[in-house]
Amino acid sequence: MKNEFKNNIAFINARLIDPHSGLDELGDLLTEGKQIKAIGKNLFYDGTSDNILKIDCKGHVLCPGFIDINTHLREPGEEHKENINTASASALAGGITSLVCMPDTQPVIDQIPIIEFIKKRARETNGVKIFPAASITKNIEGKQLTEMGLLMEAGAILFTDANKTIKNTKVMKQALTYAKNFNLLIMVSPQDYDLSLNGVMNGGALASKLGLPGISKVAEIIQVERDLRLLENSGGRLHFSNITTHESIIAIQKAKVSGLKVTSSTAPHYFTLNERAVDEWKTFAKVFPPLRQENDREAIYNALVDNKIDIISSHHSPQDQDSKRLPFEQAEFGISGMETLLPISLDLHFNGNMELIDLIDKVTNQPAKLLNLDTGKLKINSPADLTIIDINNSNKINLEDMKSKSKNSLFDQYNYKGKILYTIVDGRIVFESSKLK
């Protein structure tokens, strides 16, 4: 990075979008060191001094860097799929400046040394900001609670058993109740254990046709409803990730209205694709929870537009070829998602009547609010975590160009609009696409 030693960057002629303050207008932005120094119109009408790097944004969008609350980095334990270096490169190429990594690594992030390890690796990588999530139960077994308080002090940003749900209702109740002591955030990817056991795709006619064991959508709804009941009883903060069904949205919305501290998120594939992407045992379309039917896909899409789902996360789940080139039932779940987060989500703006600022809200301000982070906003003295986007650039997604170590994306050769031009973390340019040069 040749610009590493420049202390200040002047961004001029930018369309500044900041969902936190509601700002959406042309202007300039100045960073100094790691922070945002000034925001406004014609900041540099009398020119900039020579020792300032000047970037002419040419009217493109300058907004806070994205915060991805649900990613699997595969390190430690499965470095053949992804490691923190490749994940960081992938995130930055996707405009993501902060991410939360899931604890389902090997070993599981359930002890302080593992949190320390992740933090150390993040420092070494010096790219995307990594906030580790710790598991709710030891070794993600759903039995004994982890040392939540100590883990929080060590740096765990939230608590989740990743893709697994806590089968034992009593343990889940205890987790929510205990987390309240420290005002911790609990995140669940809701899926009833027994109803989803052995299932590999959405339950229904297509699963019958392909001869595959299905996961009925009821598995998700039941779990959402169970955990909402528990939350009502215990108080505390709960986040549902990977929401895929219409009924879950209704249940969560009702709980929100009644005053519960509950939020939800989904991933781009759930509002872009339906179960028919599985086609004839296409293992790239094997994700957990599974892609649902068209009416649910549409419901998720509309819920984002209507602001009933708070956050979009990539649910980045890289899998190497050998984990996918298998009979469907044996293949691993997951798609690599960080680099396609923005281009796929932009469809909500171009075809779904969603204001750009509202869309960006779901990947910046909302996750920052959920995690109590002082980033995700254009605010003086806040960290200069930024991204510049050419939202009208049409292109084709090409798996070969992906920076993630595993290129298991469902969106190969997908036509999209929206390109990340620059990504800035703590006032440092950490990604720039060759396009603007």
Partner 1 sequence: MHALDKWIKEKSISRTQLAKTLDISLPTLSRYLSGDRIPKQSIMQKIITTTDGNVNPSNFYTTKIKNIAYDKYNQDHLLGIEGLVSSEITSLLDRADDIIKDNRIETIINHKYKGRTLVNLFFEDSTRTKTSFELAAKRLGMDVINMQIETSSIRKGESLLDTAMTLNAMKPDILVIRHSLSGTPHLLANKVNCAVINAGDGQHEHPTQALLDALAIRRRKKKISGLEIAICGDIAHSRVARSNIKLLITMGAKVKVIAPTTLMPQGLEEYGAKTYTNMKEGLKNTDIVMILRLQHERMQGAHIPSAKEYFKFYGLDRTKLSFAKENALVMHPGPINRGVEIDSELADDINRTLILEQVELGVAIRMSVIEHLINNLDNKKFDIINEK
Burial 150-159 (b: 16+ CB within 10 A, else e): ebbebbbbbb
What gap in Å lies between CA 240 and CA 315, rounded to an integer?
13
Cβ atoms of residues 88 and 121 within 8 Å: no
The yes or no reply on residue 209 touching partner 1 (CB under 8 A) is yes
In 308-414, DSSP assigns E strands to 311-312, 386-396
| Residue with smaller CB distance to partner 1, 181 or 208 | 208
Kindly tell me which residue out of 4, 46, 50, 280 binds partner 1, with binding defined by CB under 8 A: 280
Name the residue nearer to partner 1 (CB basis): 46 or 280: 280
- Residue 216: CB minimum distance to partner 1, A: 9
Contact letters for partner 1, residues 316-335 (x by CB under 8 A)? ------x--xxxxxx-----
Binding letters toward partner 1, positions 126-165, x by CB under 8 A: ----------------------------------------
232-235 contacts: CB < 8 A, separation 24 or more?
232/258, 232/260, 233/173, 234/173, 234/176, 234/177, 234/180, 235/176, 235/177, 235/180, 235/261
Residue 295 as a binder of partner 1 (CB under 8 A): the answer is no
Give, as one character, the DSSP assignment of residue 134: B
* CA–CA dist 166, 93 (Å, integer): 34
Considering the complex, what minimum distance in angstroms separates the CB of residue 309 from partner 1?
24
Shortest distance in whole angstroms from residue 208 CB to partner 1 = 4
Amino acid at 199: G
Distances in Å between the Cα of 208 and the Cα atoms of 195, 274, 285, 337 are 16, 16, 17, 28
Cα of first residue to Cα of last residue in the chain, in angstroms, is: 14
The number of helices, as runs of H, and strands, as runs of E, in the chain is: 15, 18
Q: Which is nearer to partner 1, 244 or 382 (CB)?
A: 244
Nearer to partner 1, 123 or 209 (CB): 209
SS3 for 298? helix
Instruction: From 211-219, 259-267, 373-381, 413-421, give the range in contact with partner 1 by CB under 8 A.
Output: 211-219
C-alpha span between 164 and 412 (Å, rounded): 28
Q: How far is the CB of 198 from partner 1 (least distance, A)?
A: 12
Least Å distance, CB 206 to partner 1, is 7
Nearer to partner 1, 413 or 434 (CB): 413
**Which one, 274 or 382, has the nearer CB to partner 1?**
274
Among 106, 181, 208, 398, binds partner 1 (CB under 8 A): 208
CB of 226 to partner 1, least distance (A): 22
Q: Which stretch in 77-85, 119-127, 205-213, 333-341 sits in contact with partner 1 by CB under 8 A? A: 205-213
Query: In the set 124, 153, 279, 374, which binds partner 1 (CB under 8 A)?
Result: 279
The region of 15-23, 35-43, 162-170, 272-280 touching partner 1 under the rule CB under 8 A is 272-280
Is the link from the previous residue into 107 a cis peptide, with omega within 30 of 0?
yes
Task: Say what angle helices 246-257 and 294-305 make with each other, to 10 degrees.
Answer: 30
Nearer to partner 1 by Cβ, of 322 and 374: the residue is 322
Q: Is 297 helix (H, G, I), strand (E, B) or coil?
A: helix
210 interacts with partner 1 by CB under 8 A: yes
* 205 makes contact with partner 1 (CB under 8 A): yes
- Taking the complex as a whole, how short is the minimal distance between the CB of residue 46 and partner 1, in angstroms? 59
Q: Which residues pair with 11 in a beta bridge?
A: 29, 55
E-strand stretches of 176-221: 185-188, 201-202, 214-215
Instruction: Collapse the DSSP code of 71 into the 3-class scheme (helix H, G, I; strand E, B; otherwise coil) and give the result.
Output: strand
Distance CA 310, CA 131 (A): 19
User: Would you give the binding string for partner 1 spanning residues 219-258, x where CB under 8 A is met?
Assistant: ----------------------------------------
**Contacts with partner 1: how many residues (CB under 8 A)?**
24
Rule CB under 8 A: choose which of 51, 211, 351, 434 binds partner 1: 211
Q: Which two tokens stand for residue 425?
A: 């973390």
Q: Which is nearer to partner 1, 204 or 352 (CB)?
A: 204
Nearest-angstrom CA–CA distance, 161 and 176: 13
Residue 276 in contact with partner 1, rule: CB under 8 A: yes
Please identify, using beta-carbon distances, which residue of 124 and 279 lies nearer to partner 1. 279
Nearer CB in complex with partner 1: 133/207: 207
User: φ and ψ at 106, to 5 degrees?
Assistant: -120, 105
Write the DSSP symbol of residue 145.
B
Choice from 64, 203, 236, 290 touching partner 1 (CB under 8 A): 203
Answer yes or no whether residue 277 interacts with partner 1 by CB under 8 A: no
- Report the interface residues with partner 1, using CB under 8 A: 203-214, 276, 279-281, 294, 322, 325-330
